[in-house]
Amino acid sequence: MDIKSVKIDLIHWLTELQDKTVLKKLQGLKEQQESTIELSPEQKKELEARFEKYENGEMEFSPWDTVKDRIRKRAKDAL
């Protein structure tokens, strides 16, 4: 069955569907599909580089409280 036939079959099935549970699951699937974010080649390259640094133990991490204080200080200094 080609993609067009599958779509038509699903449309017909969906118009007759009464099961609210299945409809909610389909709605969730639709929302999940719509929220998928595509990364540009540059973003993918940066993500891969950061992941490689992480894997090699080359990244430094800070506690959340330290990060919040740093952000607050930068915001205050910017005013």
Structure tokens at 52: 């490689």
Sequence-separated contacts (24+) of 5-11 with Cβ below 8 Å: none
The Cα–Cα gap between 42 and 37 comes to 14
Q: With 90 as the cut, is the pLDDT of residue 1 above it?
A: no
Give the length of the chain: 79
Q: Give the torsion sign (CA, 21, 26, 27, 28).
A: positive
Q: What is the pLDDT of residues 15-51, one digit of tens each?
A: 999 999 999 999 999 988 888 788 899 999 999 999 9
- pTM greater than 0.75 (yes/no): no
Q: Where are the domains of the chain?
A: 3-78
